[in-house]
Amino acid sequence: MNVILASNSPRRKQLLEEAGLNFKVIPSNFNEEQIEGLSPQKYCQYLAENKAKSVYAGNNSIVIGADTIVVFNGEILGKPKDENDAISMLTKLSNNKHLVITGYAVIKGGKMHSGYEETIVEFNYLSPTLINNYVKSGSPLDKAGAYGIQDGFPLVKNIIGDYNNVVGLPVNKILEILKGIQ
């Protein structure tokens, strides 16, 4: 089985490696523009589908695409533009609940299997010192919502749903799809 991950995310790569999947990485060049009129769930799924399509070569390969967003009070929090944007996002999320949505798509033989996974995340109170130290670490600058649950900072109080989804890929869902299409 020739599997391709259409993502340059080191977290998605690590999750699939830990699941024992053999694959290669070919990053997607799909432009992630905001689309009006789509729910955050459908937007995420749309991005994942188009990332997978942009890499799919029409041969016997299986392509996995994904995109993760954070939604707080109806606002999509993507990757921060800079440190100030990261501080602003983390301040919003502090002591609040938000939704992490990962859209996923798997293509084989021209057939698309896609959907999305949602996880509710509740943050601890984040002091300004903690936020500044975390942002200065550089870690939040390439992550949706300006944080990684796996980064070792005491950000998250509780989750309801799939931990791996918050990291960036609902691995069990992907493995289930792969078993069904082999």
For residue 38, give the CATH number of its domain. 3.90.950.10
> Does residue 35 surpass a pLDDT of 80?
no
Distance from C-alpha of 150 to C-alpha of 141, rounded to nearest angstrom: 14
What 3-state class would DSSP assign to 32?
A: coil
Distance from C-alpha of 38 to C-alpha of 41, rounded to nearest angstrom: 8
What tokens does 29 get?
A: 């060049």
Count of the separate structural domains present in the chain = 1
pTM for the full predicted model? 0.93
> Does residue 121 surpass a pLDDT of 70?
yes
CB of 52 closer than 8 Å to CB of 105? yes
- Which pLDDT score is estimated for 95? 98
Catalytic residue IDs: 67
Question: What domain range is 147 assigned to?
Answer: 3-181
pLDDT (tens digit, 9 = 90+) per residue, 72-119? 999 999 899 999 999 999 999 999 999 999 999 999 988 999 999 999
